[in-house]
Amino acid sequence: MKIFRNIKRIISQYFETEYWYRWRKIDHFWFNDDTGKYECKKVPAREYITCTWEGEKDILGIMLLKLDHMFWNLKHYAAQSDFYLDSHNITKIGSDSDKLYAFNKIIKETESSKNEKEAIDCKYLYKRTDGGKEYRWFYGEYDNQKAIYLAHIYPSNGEKDYWAILDNGIYSNLQCKPDISNETGRKIIEGVIYYKYSVNIDITEYKNLSDELKPLVRGNRRTLTELLHLRHKVKQLYKIEDTDDKYYNMWNNIKDEDEKSKMLLESEKVFEEDRRKLYEEIAAFMDANGRCWWD
């Protein structure tokens, strides 16, 4: 019953949030004034939740907890494909090589499927009256009634398979193999890609994509990589202090008091610039990629 499913979900989420945001042990870095060094100790995650006196570090600490939680859940339970391209990007931006790769990938995945019922339900597989079969991809329609399909036909008499454009029940523009160098072949190749909506990309094949298309690949694998990068930047911002060696050494060993005072101000300026740069990098990175971190 629905009420029991809801109770189970609430209880499960309670223990999940208790672990990620209260119970688990995390590294906490703090500056020891006595030793003049940063030290690390294990503290419960709840320290970040209850602490409200360390200013921006309290906010950044909550971000780190959330990033850890998101990464774990998406890595183990994500429903999104690992690596894929939106079909409209392939047809609009992709090179001929990109399109041929995507076309062949779609054909292989669809027509090698062992689940015939699934293929029928998806409007791919049709049994022909002559005993053969054909796979159809929707290509368009006009008058809101007459559908146009791209058909890959396998005759029952053992003849070679071929492609055709099926317009209102009439097969035309027959081709043994779509050739992207001619207009009809390009229509078939781009049509199959476009109406597939998205195409899974093999990690090993990523390097063969065009430079224009590579940045548009998305999926759970890229999301996880980007979350790790964001976590790294947030940790850098969390840990940066004006007492770090980079800034401290700018003035510490100077004997002349006037020069030391001058370099002390200069070190503070460098620190503020580095801090601001990290904030800008985090904001720009989230702005550019954050909309794809969904499941």
Q: Residue 132: its pLDDT value, please?
A: 83
Residues 74, 160, single domain; the answer is no
Q: Are 142 and 167 in contact (CB under 8 A)?
A: no
Are 146 and 225 members of one domain?
Answer: no
Q: Do 208 and 169 lie in a common domain?
A: yes
Q: Which pLDDT belongs to residue 88? A: 93
Last residue of a domain, one of 180, 200, 216: 216
- Pair of tokens at residue 144: 């809101």
Low-confidence ranges of the chain (pLDDT < 70): 1, 4, 29-31, 36, 38, 113-124, 141-145
Amino acid at 71: F
Do 103 and 167 share a domain, yes or no? Answer: yes
The amino acid occupying position 224 is L
Domain C-terminal end among 199, 216, 233: 216
- What pLDDT does residue 120 have? 52
The pLDDT, as a whole number, for residue 115 is 60
In the chain, which residue ranges form alpha helices assigned H by DSSP?
Answer: 2-18, 46-50, 56-77, 87-93, 96-111, 116-121, 183-194, 220-239, 245-248, 257-289
Q: Which domain holds residue 195?
A: 85-216
Q: How many domains does the chain have?
A: 2
143 and 27 within one domain: no
pTM surpassing 0.95? no
- Judged on CB neighbours under 10 Å (0-12, 13-18, 19+), 191 is buried
Q: How far is CA 58 from the centre of its chain?
A: 28
- Using CB atoms within 10 Å of the CB of residue 230, give its burial: 0 to 12 exposed, 13 to 18 middle, 19+ buried: buried
**Do 114 and 208 lie in a common domain?**
yes
3-state SS assignment for residue 162: strand
Q: Please report, for residues 28, 31, 32, 44, 57, the alpha-carbon distance to residue 41 in angstroms, rounded to integers and kept in the order given.
A: 5, 11, 12, 10, 16
| Token pair 């998205």: residue | 198
